[in-house]
């Protein structure tokens, strides 16, 4: 692995847990794409993104929480492979240029307790479950898209009081440090203006 360009930071250490979902088969494609291309389990972001995320460190320590990172910078080659495995619309952006992950200005995250256990949310990060992953691999998406309603920030259900409270708390933390939520994925946060950043070669 060559040295990172100086505008980019690899996130590591407390209070972060690095668990890149595409470094293992535990993702919708059921393929460890980051391992296949030799990228591995690395959470890399643009330094402007790190400037925001690093503001969380004292807050997380004070609250005895950890931030688990499931995706950050996504190499364009990995994005192309993911898109090839799941070509249907609604999963991966049509090309790397359209994904802020490929510009190192987006993260997929959730909060964990002090022991590293994920807090409860209305869905798992990326709405991943082995059941849906298998369905999608077989080209069956209808049931999954219904499930995805639960991934929206405007999803409410009385029986999910705790899950929704956790989702809202994460959102407030991220808004406080200046990151932007997107309406349909509670785990995804963008650096404002991040789609204008260059795509690095890492």
Residue 80 corresponds to which tokens in the numbers above?
């192309």
H or E, element range at 103: none
- Least distance from Zn ion to the Cβ atom of residue 190, Å: 9
Q: Is 126 in the site for Zn ion (CB under 5 A)?
A: no
Smaller CB distance to Zn ion: residue 8 or 22?
A: 22
- In terms of Cα–Cα distance, which of 129, 88, 121 is closest to 188? 121
| Stretch binding Zn ion (CB under 5 A), from 25-33, 39-47, 62-70, 187-195 | 187-195
Cβ closer to Zn ion: 46 or 188? 188
In the bound complex, what is the minimum distance in angstroms from residue 172's beta carbon to Zn ion?
19
Does 79 bind Zn ion (CB under 5 A)? Our answer is no
Q: How far is CA 150 from the centre of its chain?
A: 16
**Which residues have a Cβ under 8 Å from the Cβ of 58 and sit 6 or more positions away?**
none
**Contact between residue 105 and residue 195 where contact means Cβ atoms under 8 Å apart:** yes
108 binds Zn ion (CB under 5 A): yes
C-beta closer to Zn ion: residue 63 or 195 = 195
Rounded Cα distance between 4 and 187, Å, is 26
β-sheet bridge partners, residue 106? 190
Position among 42, 46, 68, 188 found at the interface with Zn ion (CB under 5 A): 188
Nearer to Zn ion, 108 or 163 (CB): 108
Question: Which residues are at the interface with Zn ion (CB under 5 A)?
Answer: 108, 188
């Amino acid at each position: 692995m060559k040295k990172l360009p100086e505008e980019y930071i690899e996130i590591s250490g407390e209070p972060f847990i690095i668990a890149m979902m595409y470094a293992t088969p535990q993702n919708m494609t059921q393929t460890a794409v980051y391992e296949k291309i030799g990228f591995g389990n690395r959470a890399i972001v643009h330094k402007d993104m790190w400037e925001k995320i690093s503001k969380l460190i004292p807050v997380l320590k004070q609250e005895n929480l950890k931030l688990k990172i499931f995706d950050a910078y996504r190499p364009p080659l990995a994005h192309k492979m993911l898109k090839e495995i799941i070509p249907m619309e609604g999963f991966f952006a049509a090309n790397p240029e359209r994904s802020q992950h490929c510009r190192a200005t987006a993260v997929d995250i959730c909060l964990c307790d002090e022991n590293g256990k994920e807090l409860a949310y209305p869905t798992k990060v990326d709405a991943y479950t082995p059941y849906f992953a298998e369905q999608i691999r077989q080209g069956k998406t209808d049931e999954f898209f219904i499930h995805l309603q639960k991934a929206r920030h405007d999803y409410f259900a009385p029986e999910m009081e705790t899950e929704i409270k956790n989702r809202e708390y994460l959102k407030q933390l991220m808004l406080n440090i200046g990151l932007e939520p997107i309406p349909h994925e509670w785990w995804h946060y963008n650096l404002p203006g991040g789609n204008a950043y260059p795509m690095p070669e890492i």
